[in-house]
């Protein structure tokens, strides 16, 4: 795909992040992961982000990131694959180069590790990664990496392969300014935890689409909600929010890190077990799993 083609494809529909399958000793299970990606590809997503946040990128070694990508590539057909990359600049470059070599259509540049940085430092970090590869790059605003509108504009001018901006910060004023100043230069992706809760607000701010974690275990519900948001079907949006997403978020908010753990728990509930989360995350308790099952069951 050309850069414009991948940008337009990702903006055409719902996106998702497959979880990464581990056995009880926290080893990557390629066969189980491949089966999951193959199942997801039966549904109408616009692209899959492999080894992303929901895929526990933080816990994967660089070699495992590429193993995850290669496994997905074997079964994904023509589904666009965006590979997670990040950490320090040189590690991000190495991952990005390896991702391009192994068939990624684009990369998602997750926040650098730990430290705060100036806008000039963030510019240099992103530009170095963009300059190292020819495939598309999507930057991700969250936590310690908040790139301002003027810096995004500068990067867009200097990096032809910068194709997207994803936000997980919730800083709506920054999001609005970036969307307004860059217009159709980028694809804009909502990336808050349980992005459906923010879909209407982010859409009004100019975001093109969003990534759905629940697509992992309730793809039909995820697509129904996405289409209702795009069609302005407020009645359907409100019904699904009240019946599913609000009680779901109540469980998610019980403990730190549950935004990922609850997705793997959802797969357990529907009989498609993805294994445990890796430390320092923890899995849902039996009580919480039962609570989740009660709200998932009507939608299976």
Pick out the residues of the known binding site for pyruvate.
54
Instruction: Report how far residue 272's alpha carbon sits from residue 279's, in angstroms, rounded to the nearest whole number.
Output: 21
Instruction: Report how far residue 83's alpha carbon sits from residue 198's, in angstroms, rounded to the nearest whole number.
Output: 24
DSSP-assigned letter for residue 183: G
Torsions phi, psi for 104 (to 5 deg): -65, 145
Point out the catalytic residue in the list 33, 140, 188, 258: 140
Q: Write the Ramachandran bin of 271: left for phi over 0, alpha for psi from -120 to 50, otherwise beta.
A: left
Point out the catalytic residue in the list 70, 73, 166, 264: 166
Q: Where are the alpha helices (DSSP H) in 11-61?
A: 30-40
Active site includes 166?
yes
The residue among 170, 208, 168, 205 whose CA lies nearest residue 186 is: 208
* Residues 120, 125, 126, 127, Cα dihedral to 10°: 80
Annotated binding site: 54
Instruction: Report how far residue 27's alpha carbon sits from residue 228's, in angstroms, rounded to the nearest whole number.
Output: 38
DSSP-assigned letter for residue 24: T
Q: DSSP E strands: which ranges in 198-247?
A: 209-212
Burial, 31: exposed, middle or buried (Cβ in 10 Å; 0-12, 13-18, 19+)? exposed
Instruction: Report how far residue 293's alpha carbon sits from residue 196's, in angstroms, rounded to the nearest whole number.
Output: 19
Which residues are catalytic, by number? 140, 166
């Amino acid at each position: 795909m050309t850069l414009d083609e991948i940008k337009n494809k990702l903006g055409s529909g719902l996106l998702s992040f497959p979880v990464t399958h581990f056995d009880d000793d926290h080893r990557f299970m390629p066969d189980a992961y491949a089966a999951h990606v193959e199942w997801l590809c039966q549904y109408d997503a616009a692209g899959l982000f492999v080894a992303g946040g929901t895929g526990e990128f933080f816990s994967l070694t660089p070699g495992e990131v590429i193993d995850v990508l290669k496994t997905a590539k074997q079964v994904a057909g023509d589904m666009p694959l965006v590979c997670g990359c990040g950490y320090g600049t040189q590690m991000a470059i190495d991952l990005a180069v390896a991702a391009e070599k192994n068939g990624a259509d684009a990369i998602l540049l997750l926040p650098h590790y730990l430290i705060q940085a100036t806008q000039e430092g963030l510019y240099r970090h992103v530009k170095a990664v963009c300059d190292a590869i020819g495939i598309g790059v999507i930057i991700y605003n969250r936590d310690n990496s908040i790139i301002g509108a003027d810096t995004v504009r500068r990067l867009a001018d200097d990096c032809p392969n910068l194709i997207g901006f994803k936000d997980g910060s919730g800083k709506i004023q920054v999001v609005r300014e970036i969307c307004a100043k860059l217009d159709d230069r980028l694809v804009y992706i909502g990336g808050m935890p349980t992005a459906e809760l923010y879909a209407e607000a982010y859409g009004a701010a100019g975001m093109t689409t969003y990534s759905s974690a629940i697509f992992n275990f309730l793809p039909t519900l995820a697509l129904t909600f996405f289409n209702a948001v795009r069609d302005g079907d407020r009645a359907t949006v409100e019904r699904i929010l009240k019946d599913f997403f609000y009680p779901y978020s109540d469980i998610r908010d019980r403990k730190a890190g549950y935004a990922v753990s609850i997705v793997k728990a959802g797969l357990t509930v529907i009989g498609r077990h993805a294994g445990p989360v890796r430390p320092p995350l923890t899995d849902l308790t039996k009580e919480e799993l039962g609570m989740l099952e009660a709200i998932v069951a009507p939608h299976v």
